């Protein structure tokens, strides 16, 4: 692959600072695989989206994200504006190196530094769908955000908030599992109203509702076993009115792909989700806690070209 311009957007804080410590090694391997490139390190929230947008408008052909799913979400939001892709011919690469890297299991992209850079060097790519969510931030301002993997509301938002406050030293699985267990014990189910594809409004008592483009989230939870990133559909999983004991008992089903077999769990496919609640229900958008319901979520088919394996 010999693109005109390759740019790396690096979040040194990803994985509790792991990416910053490993960046000199990643850079050396990347130079061996790709030749010369430009690299920018982020200094805070919003930098990855801003830097990505600037480089694309200046003619970047490939933007490579180095970090976790949260950093990848920011980079993707740099690729997209209200009208769609900022630069339709540009490709997105990903070197997974953060707390949560669930998306690579759906695409797929190798987890290793060398493997992910080999995929980028090969130039092989595929087109993926994106989700677009309109929601309220914590200042009650209406915001729009794109997402590549999963948006959920309920327990997922609580888990995000807790995970982002705790240590990542034991890795993503432990971080998410501990936060999930604590949140289950402290969190109450919510009354949520939702409508799929403009149909009849339904009301449920639910722990969590996940709107999935990818299959995994939360450090390895197989929330949507049938999801595909290029089928033009969301796969929705509603974890409904289980008791606390039932929720704890069935926690393994979130990892083994059998969550749909659990009583009071429902699954759907659709292209649009509208969700409301009279209670405070937090959002999880690609592992980031951005705000609350109400929300409107649409699928954007074939929105982005990603450097990935088959």
* pLDDT tens digits in sequence order for the chain, 310 residues long: 445 799 999 999 998 899 999 999 999 999 999 999 999 999 999 999 999 999 999 999 999 999 999 999 999 999 999 888 999 999 999 999 987 789 999 998 999 999 999 999 999 999 999 999 999 999 999 999 999 999 999 887 777 666 666 555 555 556 666 766 776 667 778 999 999 999 999 999 999 999 999 999 887 889 999 999 999 999 999 999 998 889 888 888 988 989 999 999 999 999 999 999 999 999 999 988 899 999 999 999 999 999 998 7
Whole-structure pTM value: 0.91
286: nearest Cα among 72, 52, 12, 139: 72
Q: Where are the domains of the chain?
A: 6-123, 131-301
Q: Using an 8 Å Cβ cutoff, are 216 and 222 in contact? A: yes
Which CATH superfamily, name and number, covers 6-123? Answer: Probable inorganic polyphosphate/atp-NAD kinase; domain 1 (3.40.50.10330)
Q: Residue 70 to residues 78, 104, 131, 154, 275: CA-CA distances in angstroms?
A: 13, 13, 15, 18, 23
257: nearest Cα among 72, 105, 104, 73: 105
CATH topology classification for 131-301? Tumour Suppressor Smad4 (2.60.200)
What is the widest separation between alpha-carbon atoms in the chain? Answer: 57
Q: Using an 8 Å Cβ cutoff, are 298 and 224 in contact? A: no
Helix/strand/coil for 139: coil
Burial class (CB in 10 A: 0-12, 13-18, 19+), 212: buried
Angle at 303 between CA 299 and CA 304, to 5 degrees: 135
Return d(Cα 164, Cα 145) in angstroms, integer: 19
């Amino acid at each position: 692959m010999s693109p005109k311009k390759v740019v790396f957007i690096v979040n040194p804080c990803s994985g509790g600072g792991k990416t910053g410590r490993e960046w000199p090694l990643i850079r050396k391997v990347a130079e061996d695989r790709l030749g010369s490139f430009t690299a920018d390190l982020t200094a805070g929230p919003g930098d990855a989206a801003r830097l990505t947008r600037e480089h694309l408008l200046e003619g970047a052909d490939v933007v490579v994200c180095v970090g976790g799913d949260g950093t990848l979400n920011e980079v993707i939001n740099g690729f997209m504006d209200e009208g769609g892709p900022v630069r339709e011919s540009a490709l997105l690469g990903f070197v997974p190196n953060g707390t949560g890297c669930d998306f690579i299991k759906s695409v797929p992209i190798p987890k290793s530094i060398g493997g992910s850079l080999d995929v980028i060097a090969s130039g092989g790519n595929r087109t993926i769908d994106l989700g677009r969510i309109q929601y309220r931030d914590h200042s009650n301002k209406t915001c729009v955000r794109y997402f590549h993997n999963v948006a959920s509301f309920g327990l997922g938002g609580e888990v995000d908030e807790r995970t982002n406050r705790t240590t990542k030293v034991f890795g993503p699985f432990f971080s998410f599992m501990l936060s999930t267990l604590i949140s289950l014990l402290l969190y109450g189910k919510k009354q949520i109203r939702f409508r799929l594809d403009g149909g009849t409004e339904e009301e449920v008592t639910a722990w969590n509702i996940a709107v999935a483009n990818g299959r995994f989230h939360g450090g390895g939870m197989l929330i949507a076993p049938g999801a595909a990133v290029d089928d033009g559909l969301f796969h929705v999983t509603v974890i409904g009115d289980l008791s606390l004991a039932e929720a704890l008992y069935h926690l393994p089903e979130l990892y083994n792909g059998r969550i749909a077999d659990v009583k009071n769990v429902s699954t759907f496919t659709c292209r649009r989700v509208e969700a409301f609640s009279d209670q405070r229900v937090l959002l999880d958008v690609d592992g980031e806690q951005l705000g609350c319901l109400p929300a409107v979520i649409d699928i954007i088919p074939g929105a982005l070209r990603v450097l990935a394996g088959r």
